[in-house]
Structure 1
Amino acid sequence: MSRENQVLYRLQAIEQLLHDAGLWQSSAPPSEAFNSQEPFCVDTMAPLQWLQWIFLPRMHALLDAGSALPVKLAIAPYYEVALPEDMPERTELLRTLSLFDQLFEHDT
């Protein structure tokens, strides 16, 4: 399987988990929330909002355009800190994000 297909597969797994867990939002955050200059939009969005509304679309846009994928990427560490300890889906989401990050651990 090509690296692009692996990335797409993992993105779809993240999306499916968010849907299955009832964490997928049907309405986008206010437009001003997208203007943040902070990493992960920490000042304007909740962690799962950034994942759904910024990260996933940007990764899909890179794949759709045939653009170069990031060489290094690690989002799971942010979610280890950002997600509530008592969140029922936390363990599965962290596992899924870690599997995604593994695709970017080595130069391919």
Structure 2
Amino acid sequence: MANSSDHTTRVADSLLQIEIELRRIDAWESEPPSPEALQSAQPFAVDTLEFTQWLQFVFVSRMKALIEGGHPLPQVSGMAPMAEEHFRGREESGAGLISELEEMDRLLSGQP
């Protein structure tokens, strides 16, 4: 049981680092997108949200709810490649955020 608790703590810490990076690159928003935009059925809500909005309003909020509720965490994650695509050609490299997402991908996928 301690192992599961340790894993959840590491995921929660990683989630906090993702939030810090979103704030650092000025991508953290105070107002949520419309409820309709949040209902997208597309992966990462690519048809209605910017990737950073999806991270904040979908991924971070759902992961916090899972952790706080003691629910099982996802066992697969592939956000870093999506982040690399999002930041390609932009002024802000997003390297810090991509690094944090690589860590979250690793943690959720159960890689050492």
Structure 2 gap ranges (5+):
none
Identity in percent:
32
Are 2:8 and 1:29 equivalent residues in the alignment?
no
Superposed displacement of residue 100, structure 1: 1.2
The counterpart of 2:81, out of the listed 44, 53, 77, is 77
More helix, by proportion: 2
Aligned Cα RMSD in Å?
1.8
Identify the range of structure 1 (42-51 vs 79-88) with the bigger mean alpha-carbon deviation.
Answer: 79-88
2:16 is matched with which residue? 12
Are 2:21 and 1:51 equivalent residues in the alignment?
no
Structure-1-length-normalised TM-score = 0.90
Structure-2-length-normalised TM-score = 0.87
Distance 2:32 2:82 in 1: 21
Distance 1:9 1:89 in 2: 23
1:99 is matched with which residue? 103
Distance 2:95 2:111 in 1: 27
Q: Which runs of 4+ in 1 moved over 4 A?
A: none
Structure 1 gap ranges (5+):
none
Between the two proteins, the alignment pairs up a number of residues equal to: 108
